Amino acid sequence: MLEFLQYQFMQNAFIAAILVSIACGVVGTYVVIKKIVFISGGISHAAFGGIGLGYLLGINPVLSAIPFSVVSAVLMGSLGKKVELSEDAAIGILWSVGMALGIIFINLSPGYAPDLFSYLFGSILTVPYQDLLIMLVLDLIILGTVGLFHREFTAISFDEEFAEVMGVPSQLIYIILLALVALSVVVLIKAVGIILIIALLTIPAAISRQFTHHIPRLMMTSVILGVILTSMGLWLSYLFNLASGATIVLVLGAAFFISAILKKIWYN
């Protein structure tokens, strides 16, 4: 099974699997607890505008996606507070605008975008060394921020109104949390693509939450599950010559249903 790691591109893919599992395990825990899966999907689709901007400017699309995703996350989290607009409407507007901008930017770019498909549906097998460094830096930023604001994130995830009463600046903390979601989206883009990002952000944490509600343990379990399941999907995609992003998501989905069945058997 480990013979596929003799190739450099597979080694890069395996390292990428570890890095994306860290991001999705840590941030995904808050996404699942706070029930902000929809807004996470909005941020991931809005990030396409940053991908298109990268093609237009001739820079690494992953780099251009970082500020674009963070700005989109901040707007989604604050627009509903600033104007008379529901949060889901704000998400829908920025989701579609981000995708539309990405299409326009790519249309205006000279030449052909050969790897555009990988940003939409993922291609962990083609992650270059430079992108691994970017993913590592983003993971360190995510871990550092969670370390600084762990209590505040936990407070607003369970009861935002009570956290506000206790003196936590809940709106600011919520915006910071959405910014972390945006950074996680950038980490995950090359692995599973914009279309499938929600799966990695939610499924490992959703599986772990069936068996524990202790936040640090939930995060650690989610990261470990992410590494195991992502690596398994990566191996199966190599073995059967399948699309890597889709295979990883199918493995995650199968694991969730198996865990749900096992939980029902054990607790009954």
- Residue 193's pLDDT is 85
Residue type present at position 11 = Q
The domain 2-267: what is its CATH number?
1.10.3470.10
| Boundaries of every domain in the chain | 2-267
**Phi, psi at residue 214, to the nearest 5°?**
-80, 115
* pTM score above 0.85: yes
Interatomic CA distance for residues 238 and 232, integer angstroms: 10
In the predicted structure, residue 113 carries a pLDDT above the cut 80: no
Q: Of all residues in the chain, what percent carry a pLDDT higher than 70? A: 95
- Residue 81's pLDDT is 64
What is the pLDDT averaged over residues 228-240? 90
| Residue owning tokens 């995708």 | 99
- Residue 4's pLDDT is 62
Contact predicate 123/245, CB 8 Å: yes
Interatomic CA distance for residues 207 and 106, integer angstroms: 37
